Structure 1
Amino acid sequence: MRAHEAGTLHADGYGAAPGWLPYPSDVMELLPQLWPRSVGRQDLAEGGELTVAGLPVSHLAREFGTAAYVVDEADFRARARAFADDFTAPFERLGGAEVFYAGKAFLCSAVARWVMDEGLGLDTCSGGELAVAKRVGFPAERIALHGNNKSVAEIRQALEYGVGRIVVDSLDEIERVAAIARELGVVAPVMVRVTVGVEAHTHEFIATAHEDQKFGFSLQTGQARGAIDRILAHGSALNLLGLHSHIGSQIFDIAGFEIAARRLIGLHAQVAEAYGLHLPELDLGGGYGIAYTSEHTPMTPADLGAAMAALIEREFAPLAAKGVTVPRISIEPGRAIVGPSTFTLYEVGTVKSVEVGHGNVRTYVSVDGGMSDNVRTALYGADYSCTLASRTSHAAPRLVRVVGRHCESGDIVVMDEYLPADVSPGDLIAVPGTGAYCRSLASQYNHTPRPPVVAVRDGRARVIVRRETIDDILALDVDDLDSAEQ
C-alpha cells in the first residue's frame, strides 16, 4: 500500500496522485468503461445526480439505505450474453465452446437465474454455492465443482445432483470421488486441474498456475500424468472428460493463455497417443480483467473469443495428422460479467484534512462502509475509482482518500481519487466495479451488518440479497447464561 519501512512520510511521492491518475478536466465526468451501461447523470438543471436505469441514487438511498451494492440487471445480462454469443461464435467451426460464470465472484438465487437464462454454465466451489444452484433448478449438466479440498458431503451432493464436471485437485480427492461414485452407483465426470507453470501478471494471491501454490497437479514434475493414470485405474467409476488450467485473475491480455494452452494441449496430445483417448473437453480457465480505474483497458468478449479461437486452431493444426481433433473448449471469465455491473453507494460521514508535514495534506473522506463490504483494497492493494453521486459540483478537484468506518488504519476503500473540494457530510458517493468479490468476501467486522444487494432494471429496484441486521448477528451468538437457564 505504497508504504515505506520508516513510515509513509518517507515514501517517494507521498501525498501525490499515482502516475495513472491524471488531474481531471471535469471532476464530475463518468468514464463509461467503469460503470454499468444504464448509469448516467441528470441534467445540471436538475442537480446532476447519478442515475441508474433511470433511478436517482438518492431514491435508492432513501428506500434501501447505505451502504448498498447496486447491480444493473440488464447490464449483467448483456455482459453474460456477450460471452455466450460473441466469445463462442469463433469456436463454432472448431467444435464449440462453453462459458462458465464464476459463482465465487458473486452468487445469489437471482443471479443464478440470470446466468441460467442467458445460457451460461455455473462454476461452483462449495456446497453452499451448489445449494444456490439447486435452489433455482440450475441444469446439473451445466454445473462445475471446483476446489482444492472438497468435502465428502460436497462431492456426494454434486454427484447426487448430477453435475457435469468435478475438477479434481489432488490424488486424495481422486480416491474420494471414486469411492463416493461407487457407493452411489454413478459414474463421476472429472477433469484434471493442471498447474502449467505460467506466472500470470497479477497479484501473487490471485495467480494460480505457478508451481508454488495449492492448486492442481504440476505438469513439469509429472504429477498431472500421474493423476490421469490414477483416474483411469478406477475404471468405470470415473469418466475423464479432459484437462483444466487456470492461470489467475484480473488478466488483460492472452500472452499467458498462449503458453498455458500450448502446454495443456501438449498434455492432451500425450494422453491421446499414450492411451488412445480423445478427451472431449479442454478448459482454459479465464480470470479476464475489468476496468477498476482509468488505467485499465480490458479486451471485449468478441476480441477475446477471436484471439483464443485463433490460438486453439493454431496449436491443434499440427496434431490433425495424428488424428487429434479439437475438443470442446471451456472458459471462465471470472469477474468480467458481474464486476462492472455493480457499484457501491455510500454516504459521507466526515471529511478530514490532515497536515502530515513537509507541506503535505491528506484529505480523508469517511463513508458508512469500508473493509467489511470491500476488503480488496486492504487484501490486495486494489485500486478503485469513485464519484460524487448525489449532486453536481463546480468546485475544483481535490485528491482524497476514501476510507471506511472500521477500527483499522488499513480500512481504505479508494486509495487515491479526485473528488470536488466541497465534498461534505451527507453527500453520496459511488464506487464502481464492486460486483465481484466484494459481497462475496464481505464480513461482519466490528459487528457491522453486511449491506443489501439491490437490482435495478427499467426504472424499478428490488432487493435480491437483504441487508443483515443486528438481530441476524445476535442470532448466531449463543449466550452461556441463556443456555444455562434453559
Structure 2
Amino acid sequence: MTTAAPGSDLNAVDARVFPPSARRGSRCGELKLAGIPATELTAKHGSPLYVVDEQAARDRAREVREALQREAARVGTEATVYYAGKAFLCVEVARWMDEEGLAVDVASGGELAVALAAGVDPSRIGFHGNNKSEREIARAVEAGVGTIIIDSEIETERIAAAASAAGRRQRVRLRVNSGVHASTHDFLATSHEDQKFGQPLGEAPRLVEAILAHESLEFVGLHCHIGSQIFATDGFRESARRLLGVYPELERLVGAPIPELNLGGGFGIAYTSEQADEAPRIADIARELADIVAESAREFGVAVPKLAFEPGRSIIGQSGVTLYTVGTTKEVALAGSDAAADPADLGYSSRLYVSVDGGMSDNARPALYGADYQVRLANRSSDAEPALVRVVGKHCESGDIVVQRDVLPGDVRPGDTLAVAATGAYCWSLASNYNYVPRPPVVAVREGASRIIVRGETEDELLAKSVVATLSP
C-alpha cells in the first residue's frame, strides 16, 4: 500500500516505523540516526549500509522481556524469553541480548558458535533446526546447551547418543504442530501439518514415550511455532489450548507435571505507517498470552507451566535502517487500466522508478514474501510535489524491488540518500552475493557514535573464494 498520499508530509519520520532516535536535522532536514547524519554514516562506512540503533534494540529487548515475565508472574509462573537469532545475529547483537537478560535461540552450528563467542551462558541457549547434524548435536551437548528442540524421531536417538557419550542428561523439548496457522504469507507458515517442521500433535504421546526411554534425555515440554508477523493472539489462544489439552496424557506418562511450554514467537511489527495502526503492543500481547495459558491450564486440570517465547523480528526489526544511494531515476506512465487494477496508484499518472546501489542481495524479503517497506529521502528534506515511486535494486532481475510502492518528493535524483525503515530483521540474515555484489557492512549507532559490528565484503574477498582448478593428466 502507498504510505503517503498527495498533500501528506513526505519528510515526516514515523517513530512507529523508524527507530525512536530517527529525526530530521535543522540543516537541510537531513535524517539523523542516534544523532548522526545519514550522509556522514555513508561517507564513513559506504553505501549501501545497514544501520542498527543499539539503544533501540536494547530498549526493545528489555521491554519485551519485562512484559512477558511480568504477566507470567501475574498468573503464577515464570517466563524465559529467547532472542530468535535467525532474525539477525552477530557477536555484538548476541551480547546485547544477553546483557538485557534474554536467552538466545539458535538454529545452526554457525549461530551456536556466534552465541558462544559472545559469551552467552550455554545453559541459556536453545538449539532449533529440522536437520541438525550429528556433529552439531554433539557440539551443542558438549558445550552445555540448555535445551535442544527435537524436530523428528530420528533426532531423539541422535541427541540421546550424544548426551550418553558426553555423560550428560540433556534437556529437550518436542516440537509439534498444533494445526493452528496464524494469518500470514504462505512461505512464512510454520504450523501446517504438511510442512518440514515438527511432528503432528497427535504423535506427541508416542514420541514422548520414546524420549523417556533414554536416561540421557530430560523431557521438559512441548514447543510450537504458529507463524510469523502475527498481529493478533487468536492463533496463540487456540494453539495453547490444543497443546495443554495433551498435557494430562503426557503427565501420566512422565509421572509428574510437565514443567514447560514454549509458544514460539512471530509477533508482528509495523513496516509502514499504515501497518502501525494495527501492530500489537507487546504489553497487550503478554497480558493476553498469560491469560490464555492460565485459562487453558485450568480447563485441563494441569499446573500452569513455565513459559518460553522466541521473539526475533519484534525485538530487532524496528531498530534497523538501510541507507542507499540513488543511481538513476526513470519515469513510466501508468495506463488507466493499470491504475484501476491497483487502487493504491489512483491519483498518479506515472510512476518514478528509483534505482539504488543495493537491492535483493541485501533485502530479499520483497522478492520472497512480497514484503512492504517505507522509504524516506535521507540526505535532505524537500517541498517538491509528491511522486509515486518504486525503489528498485541494481540486480539483473525484474523482481529486484526494495520498496514496491511509496511516495517521495518528486525531485528525488541521482546522488540522493534514501533510508528504508524496519530492516533490522531478515535482511542481513538473508543477504546474498547475487550478481557478485558484496554484502554491505552493519554499523551500530549509539549516542552520536558509530562502529562496525559486521564487516562488509569487498570484490577482492569474493574473488579470493574462486578456485582455479588444474585437471590432472
Q: Cα distance 1:283–1:50, how it changes in 2: closer, same or farther (>3 A)?
A: same
Q: Deviations for 1:40-73, whole angstroms, at most 9, x for unmatched residues?
A: 0012xx1000001111111001100100000000
- SS of the counterpart of 1:105? coil
The match for 1:326 is 304
The match for 2:225 is 246
Select which of 415, 428, 431 maps to 2:404: 415
- Name the CA distance, whole Å, in 2 between partners of 1:385 and 1:19: 9
Which amino acid in structure 2 is aligned with residue 89 of structure 1?
R
The match for 1:378 is 367
Is residue 177–residue 192 contact of structure 2 (8 Å, CA) maintained in 1? Answer: yes
Q: Deviations for 1:340-391, whole angstroms, at most 9, x for unmatched residues?
A: 0000000000000123545953310000000000000001111111000000
1:307 equivalent in alignment to 2:284: no
The match for 2:210 is 230
List gaps (5 residues or longer) in structure 2.
338-348
The match for 2:343 is none
Is residue 70–residue 454 contact of structure 1 (8 Å, CA) maintained in 2? Answer: yes
Is residue 48–residue 323 contact of structure 2 (8 Å, CA) maintained in 1? Answer: yes
The match for 1:172 is 154
The match for 1:277 is 256
Which amino acid in structure 2 is aligned with residue 38 of structure 1?
S
1:65 equivalent in alignment to 2:30: no
The match for 1:90 is 71
The match for 1:289 is 268
- SS of the counterpart of 1:31? coil
1:25 equivalent in alignment to 2:25: no
Where does 1:172-191 land on structure 2 (aligned, <5 Å)?
A: 172-191=154-173
1:391 equivalent in alignment to 2:380: yes
Is residue 205–residue 249 contact of structure 2 (8 Å, CA) maintained in 1? Answer: no
- SS of the counterpart of 1:313? helix
Where does 1:39-188 land on structure 2 (aligned, <5 Å)?
A: 39-43=22-26, 46-93=27-74, 94-188=76-170
Q: TM-score, normalised by structure 1?
A: 0.92
- Name the CA distance, whole Å, in 2 between partners of 1:340 and 1:441: 17
Q: Could you tell me how far 1:275 is from its partner in structure 2?
A: 3.6
Q: Could you tell me how far 1:466 is from its partner in structure 2?
A: 0.9
Superposed CA RMSD: 1.6
Is residue 391–residue 403 contact of structure 2 (8 Å, CA) maintained in 1? Answer: yes
Is residue 203–residue 380 contact of structure 1 (8 Å, CA) maintained in 2? Answer: yes
Q: Cα distance 1:286–1:23, how it changes in 2: closer, same or farther (>3 A)?
A: farther
User: How many residues are aligned here?
Assistant: 459
- Name the CA distance, whole Å, in 1 between partners of 2:462 and 2:267: 35
Q: Deviations for 1:153-199, whole angstroms, at most 9, x for unmatched residues?
A: 11011100111100101111111111111222211211000100012
Is residue 18–residue 421 contact of structure 2 (8 Å, CA) maintained in 1? Answer: yes
Select which of 302, 305, 316 maps to 1:338: 316
Is residue 350–residue 388 contact of structure 2 (8 Å, CA) maintained in 1? Answer: no
Which amino acid in structure 2 is aligned with residue 142 of structure 1?
R
- Name the CA distance, whole Å, in 1 between partners of 2:300 and 2:383: 63
List gaps (5 residues or longer) in structure 1.
1-17
The match for 2:416 is 427
Q: Between the two proteins, what is the percent identity of the paired residues?
A: 51
Is residue 249–residue 334 contact of structure 1 (8 Å, CA) maintained in 2? Answer: no
The match for 2:433 is 444
The match for 1:8 is none
Q: Cα distance 1:258–1:445, how it changes in 2: closer, same or farther (>3 A)?
A: same
Which amino acid in structure 1 is aligned with residue 313 of structure 2?
R
Q: Deviations for 1:206-240, whole angstroms, at most 9, x for unmatched residues?
A: 11111111111101xx2222211111122x11100
Is residue 2–residue 405 contact of structure 2 (8 Å, CA) maintained in 1? Answer: no
Which amino acid in structure 1 is aligned with residue 53 of structure 2?
D
Q: Could you tell me how far 1:86 is from its partner in structure 2?
A: 2.1
- Name the CA distance, whole Å, in 2 between partners of 1:74 and 1:329: 27
Is residue 23–residue 32 contact of structure 2 (8 Å, CA) maintained in 1? Answer: yes
- Name the CA distance, whole Å, in 2 between partners of 1:217 and 1:123: 20
Q: Deviations for 1:420-460, whole angstroms, at most 9, x for unmatched residues?
A: 00000000000001010100000001100000000000100
Which amino acid in structure 1 is aligned with residue 73 of structure 2?
E
Which amino acid in structure 2 is aligned with residue 271 of structure 1?
L
- SS of the counterpart of 1:88? helix
Q: Could you tell me how far 1:316 is from its partner in structure 2?
A: 1.4
- SS of the counterpart of 1:383? coil
Select which of 350, 353, 374 maps to 1:361: 350
Q: Could you tell me how far 1:305 is from its partner in structure 2?
A: 1.1
- SS of the counterpart of 1:333? coil
- Name the CA distance, whole Å, in 2 between partners of 1:318 and 1:392: 57
- Name the CA distance, whole Å, in 2 between partners of 1:318 and 1:361: 58
The match for 1:198 is 180
Is residue 21–residue 295 contact of structure 1 (8 Å, CA) maintained in 2? Answer: no
- SS of the counterpart of 1:285? coil
- SS of the counterpart of 1:405? coil
